[in-house]
Amino acid sequence: MAPRIGGVRLVHDGWARFLVAEVIQEDGTRMTREIEDHGRAVAVLPYDPDRRVATLVSQFRAPVLYSDGPATHLEAPAGLLDEGTPEDEARREAMEETGLRLTALEFIASAWSMSGISTERMDLFLAVYGTADRIGAGGGLAAEGEAVTIHEIPLRDLAAMGRDGRLTDMKSLTLLFALQLRRPDLFTGLG
């Protein structure tokens, strides 16, 4: 018999839910595991192939600061899946955070972000945009306590950040590497 969840106890219910699960192993051994539960999420890396730039954001991240990191760090626009399809939610997050209207999305993967502790499965996308697609102010939703700063970064600089460790957000690294694999022409001759 495969391992199974014997029961779950809720220990906190807020923006995320925290659970303690009783796991029953194949041999009948029981153990507990903590689970952070907030469900599905999306992330998108908008890029302008004509100007060879990508748009990322930064905002306060308490867990990063708590872990001796900076108060903010660079990342692809992302958020929780609310009610729409992953594609619709990626477009909504991009508009809220960056002011960009995204149309066609290129699916990269649906991946577990931290499978040892979290239920979060994130749908990752790339999206082409042009200067005419910047139709809003961006900056996030004040009602959700967001104060998002928008960064339009040359792809050569973003690639260098990925190579030398300055891009420290996992979803953003994954999206950058996917863009490099799928569109190497955007990075040729960039040094």
Tens of pLDDT, residues 44-98: 999 999 999 999 999 988 899 999 988 888 999 999 998 899 999 999 999 999 9
Name the residue among 168, 84, 76 with its Cα closest to residue 127.
76
Average of pLDDT values for 155-166? 97
Let me know: does 176 contact 155? Beta carbons within 8 Å.
no
Out of 22-36, 112-126, 138-152, pick the least confident.
138-152
Q: What is the pLDDT of residue 70?
A: 87
Say what the pTM is: 0.92
Q: Which residues pair with 73 in a beta bridge?
A: 59
Cα 129-135-137 angle, rounded to 5 deg: 115
Return d(Cα 31, Cα 13) in angstroms, integer: 22
pLDDT at 190: 53
Q: Which of 33, 3, 40 is nearest to 18 (CA)?
A: 33
What is the strand order of the sheet 4-13 is part of?
4-13, 17-24, 30-37
CB neighbours of 144 closer than 8 A, spacing ≥ 6?
none
Fold observed for domain 39-184: Nucleoside Triphosphate Pyrophosphohydrolase (3.90.79)
